[in-house]
Amino acid sequence: MTDTLLQVEGLTTELGAAAQPLRVVDGLDLHLQAGETLALLGESGCGKSMTALSLMRLLPPSGRILAGSVRLGGTDLLRLTETEMRAVRGGRLAMIFQEPQTSLNPVLTVGAQIAEAVRVHAGCSRAQVPERVVELLRAVGIPDPAQRAGEYPHQLSGGMKQRVMIAMALAGDPQILIADEPTTALDVTIQAQVLRLLKDLQRDTGLAVLLITHDLGVVAETADRLAVMYAGQIVETATVAGFFARPAHPYSRRLMESLPSADRRSGRLAVIPGRVPPLDRVFQGCRFADRCQSVMPVCREETPGWFEIGAGQGVRCHLWADSLQSVVGSWQSAASGASEGESDRHPAAGNGILLRATDLKVHFPIHRGILRRVVGQVRAVDGVSLDLRAGRTLALVGESGCGKTTAGKGILQLVQPTGGSIRYRDRELIGLGHRRMRTIRKDLQIIFQDPYAAMNPRMLVGDIVGEGLQALGIEPRRAGRMRRVAELLELVGLDPASANRYPHEFSGGQRQRICIARALAVEPRIIICDEPTSALDVSVQAQILNLLKDLQERLGLAYLFISHNISVVAYLAHEVAVMYLGRVVEQGPVDVVLDDPRHPYTRALLSAVPVIDADRRREIIRLEGDMPSPSHPPPGCHFHPRCPVAIDACARSYPGETRLNDARVVHCLRANQE
């Protein structure tokens, strides 16, 4: 412990009015050594970001630090004056934020913004500043740094912006970098690039990183040690290897078990019931007690102490009190068996095709010139063909901007397709018109990504769920409708009395259940799930995935599951279609595609996904640059400018379909080679 850089003790932070404060950080201890990466892991609302802002003393106006000490080297940061603290910020202690989009000043060039930091901290002369800026940009891997320095943030992609943020943080040669969810807003391939960059910088400069994240995969791939935070407290610290081998806190265990993956396809995911408790109250006993499976009477009465359990691992849980050590062993063996169990691998799969989209196109015109003539098209969806079968799940996978959401909305005619055909049970949907489409609406439903935006805040839950019943005239009478709504709420695992409450009274997971109930109300045969779990925490995601799976088995629904999350897809889907720039590049049964991807983009995408299990990690295939704009797709294969195995022929024409077997289609000239 000789080279401990940062030592935090008893840090306590409150937010909000003094009368009813939120104690977002409560007696937090942690330490950080030079050159290591410590991950602070937790779900939303557990106080991770507030911890980071407390360390930087950048809390919002309503926040205040009540107690504790933050020692950086020999100085206690909490005792410094504001002027002294300013020298530390960006100097010895730097920070990058989650949203590179909004974290850069839109009206200053990135060079100017980095130069500011250089001027404040680095002791170089005025003339050297531009040189240093370019040097920093080069260090974070920005091509053509001298020119990029003169550009504005909006001219850079998300990944580039995060690199600029890192360059800015490096300007003062910091000893510690606090990275608050640095890759959450980025796509996986870009995430891989940024994480790689952080690793390289750490290797070269001996930087210590405090990585704040909710993603266990990111922790496994980048951190040396981790601290699990729950409701404002650290509940477990461990080395990464030790943690994934043997998580000590019941919360950590359940968190890991609730992660979806291909291995767990056969069973249900473990869920953590309930939600993170609000932090505006005084806790008695353990904060996790209400959601804990191994809860004991003592948990509700006594606040658990901190137990060191060896090998750098510590935990805040009564189970580890000496007298109870024996319980832990039995509990661990019992718990590991829980997630196996029922194995309904192949649900009743009616093989008939319910809906077939052929060469679906959704183009948005670009207007220019004096008379606003159409000068080009944004080819959001550019020839997508999909088959949906009853009782099966087809996953549509791709990074942001690839057109997967537009494809889903195009199928539902929520945006008007510009070409192709959608046949639902032998009826062509395109060009059907608003009125005749209504009769088909009953069978095709949609669930959205953001459960907060998906419900009218001014309507009662009962009216929201019953809206389709009323609109399509299925249950014109209110009494009948309310009876049906009650059944539906029960079906998705909610109290039927919820019908008389407003959406804001529910948590994110509960809201998503209500949205599912709304979709189910009209007894659809196909549900388009547009990233239904990406706004939710891992433990809640598991609840929703379980529910979707149950419903499919019971009702024989077909899902078009739009997602960027490969592990969710691996868990839930039967088939998968990978999209890149408006087109499907590879399609086939999920296990085959994920195990043996043939398209170079699929390979790169899959390799970039952070994996917990070190044995299963693939060599990351680094993609250069970003996805091109769908208004100017590259000629030939859309992927060839970034493709590591591209040949000359790729630039000439878009590769046709290569059928590897009945169900497997790849659009790549080199699909059959190797």
Partner 1 sequence: MTAYILRRLLYAVPILIGVNLLTFVLFFVVNSPDDMARMHLGEKRVTEEAVQGWKAAHGYDRPLLYNAEASGMARLTETIFFEKSARLFAFQFGSSDDGRDIGYDISQRMWPSLAIAVPVLLVGLAFNISYALFIVFFRATYVDIGSVVLLVAMLSISSLFYIIGGQFLLSKVFHLAPISGYDTGLHAWKFLILPVIVGVIGGIGAGTRWYRTLFLEEVGKDYVRTARAKGLSERLVLFRHVLGNALIPILTGVVVVLPLLFMGSLITESFFGIPGLGSYTIDAISNQDFAIVRAMVFLGAVLYILGLILTDISYTLVDPRVRLQ
Partner 2 sequence: MPLMPVVLWTDALVFLLIALGLLFGLYAARHEHLRAPWRRVVQSRVGVAMLVVLSAYGMVGLLDTVHVRLKLDTPADSSAAPQYAPEILSLLDLALSGLRERQEKTYSAPFATHLFVKEAIEQPDGSVIRDFPRLEHGGSHLADPATQRGADILFTAMLGMLKGLVFWVLTAFAILWLIARRRGELMEQTWTAIRAGRTPIPWLTALSMLGLLLILGFVAGELAARYHILGTDKVGEDVFFQTLKSIRTGLLIGTLTTLVMLPAAILLGIAAGYFRGWVDDVIQYLYTTLNAIPGVLLIAAAILMLQVYMSNHAEDFTSLVERADLRLLFLCLILGVTSWTGLCRLLRGEALKLREVDYVQAASALGVGHATIIGRHILPNVMHIVLITLVLDFSGLVLAEAVLSYVNIGVDPTMNSWGNMINSARLELARDPVVWWSLTAAFVFMFTLVLAANLFADVVRDAFDPRLRGI
Binding site for partner 1 (CB under 8 A): 56, 58, 61, 83, 86-91, 94-95, 97, 99, 102-108, 116-117, 120-121, 152, 154, 165, 168-169, 171-172, 367-372
With CB under 5 to 8 Å by kind, the binding choice for 577 among partner 1, partner 2, none is: none
Intra-chain end-to-end CA distance of the chain, in Å: 51
Contact with partner 2 (CB under 8 A): which of 409, 564, 583, 667?
Answer: 409
Q: Which is nearer to partner 1, 150 or 273 (CB)?
A: 150
Helix (H) or strand (E) holding 218: helix 216-222
Q: Does 427 bind partner 2 (CB under 8 A)?
A: no
- Residue 72, φ and ψ in degrees, nearest 5: -115, 110
Q: How many CB atoms lie within 10 A of CB 71?
A: 17
Contact with partner 2 (CB under 8 A): which of 262, 459, 645, 660?
Answer: 459
Q: Which is nearer to partner 2, 511 or 583 (CB)?
A: 511
With CB under 5 to 8 Å by kind, the binding choice for 87 among partner 2, partner 1, none is: partner 1
The side-by-side arrangement of strands in the sheet containing 353-368 is 373-389, 353-368, 419-424, 427-428
Report, in Å, the least distance between residue 385 CB and partner 1. 34
Please identify, among the stretches 47-55, 246-254, 460-468, 662-670, the one whose residues bind partner 2 according to the rule CB under 8 A: 460-468
Question: What sections of 525-618 are H helices per DSSP?
Answer: 538-555, 566-572, 590-595, 600-608
User: What is the identity of the amino acid at 18?
Assistant: A
d(CA 177, CA 55): 11
Report, in Å, the least distance between residue 191 CB and partner 2. 26
d(CA 184, CA 49): 13
Report, in Å, the least distance between residue 467 CB and partner 2. 6
Q: Which is nearer to partner 2, 394 or 469 (CB)?
A: 469
Q: Which is nearer to partner 2, 451 or 636 (CB)?
A: 451
Please identify, among the stretches 87-95, 272-280, 437-445, 558-566, the one whose residues bind partner 2 according to the rule CB under 8 A: 437-445
With CB under 5 to 8 Å by kind, the binding choice for 105 among partner 1, partner 2, none is: partner 1
Q: Which of 253, 252, 288, 256 is nearest to 273 (CA)?
A: 288
Report, in Å, the least distance between residue 516 CB and partner 2. 11
Q: Does 164 bind partner 2 (CB under 8 A)?
A: no
d(CA 280, CA 257): 29
3-state secondary structure 161-191: HHHHHHHHHHCCCCCEEEEECCCCCCCHHHH
Contact with partner 2 (CB under 8 A): which of 412, 584, 605, 666?
Answer: 412
With CB under 5 to 8 Å by kind, the binding choice for 414 among partner 1, partner 2, none is: partner 2
Instruction: Give the three-state DSSP class for 358.
Output: strand
CA 255 to chain centre: 15
Report, in Å, the least distance between residue 421 CB and partner 2. 20
Q: Does 60 bind partner 2 (CB under 8 A)?
A: no
Q: Please check whether residue 311 is in contact with residue 297, taking contact to mean a CB–CB distance below 8 angstroms.
A: no
Instruction: For residue 427, list its beta bridge partners.
Output: 424
Report, in Å, the least distance between residue 179 CB and partner 1. 12
Region 505-524 residues binding partner 2, contact defined as CB under 8 A? 515, 518-519, 522
With CB under 5 to 8 Å by kind, the binding choice for 117 among partner 2, partner 1, none is: partner 1
Q: Does 450 bind partner 2 (CB under 8 A)?
A: yes
Rg (CA), the chain: 26
d(CA 433, CA 413): 9
With CB under 5 to 8 Å by kind, the binding choice for 474 among partner 1, partner 2, none is: none
With CB under 5 to 8 Å by kind, the binding choice for 88 among partner 2, partner 1, none is: partner 1
Burial of 554 (0-12, 13-18, 19+ CB in 10 A): exposed
SS3 content of the chain, % helix, strand, coil (to 5): 40, 25, 40
- Residue 219, φ and ψ in degrees, nearest 5: -60, -50
Q: Which of 656, 620, 629, 624 is nearest to 640 (CA)?
A: 624
With CB under 5 to 8 Å by kind, the binding choice for 409 among partner 1, partner 2, none is: partner 2
With CB under 5 to 8 Å by kind, the binding choice for 446 among partner 1, partner 2, none is: partner 2
d(CA 392, CA 155): 42
d(CA 321, CA 343): 37
Q: Does 532 bind partner 2 (CB under 8 A)?
A: no
Report, in Å, the least distance between residue 103 CB and partner 1. 5
Report, in Å, the least distance between residue 91 CB and partner 1. 6
Contact with partner 2 (CB under 8 A): which of 230, 288, 320, 448?
Answer: 448
Q: Does 438 bind partner 2 (CB under 8 A)?
A: yes
Q: Does 224 bind partner 2 (CB under 8 A)?
A: no
- Residue 169, φ and ψ in degrees, nearest 5: -65, -30
Could you tell me the two tokens for 48? 């991770």
Contact with partner 2 (CB under 8 A): which of 453, 497, 649, 663?
Answer: 453
Cα dist from 126 to 107, 118, 120, whole Å = 22, 10, 11
Q: Which is nearer to partner 2, 455 or 538 (CB)?
A: 455
Q: How many CB atoms lie within 10 A of CB 386?
A: 20
Contact set with partner 2 (CB under 8 A): 409, 412, 414, 437-438, 441-442, 444-446, 448-450, 453-459, 464, 467-468, 471-472, 502, 504, 515, 518-519, 522
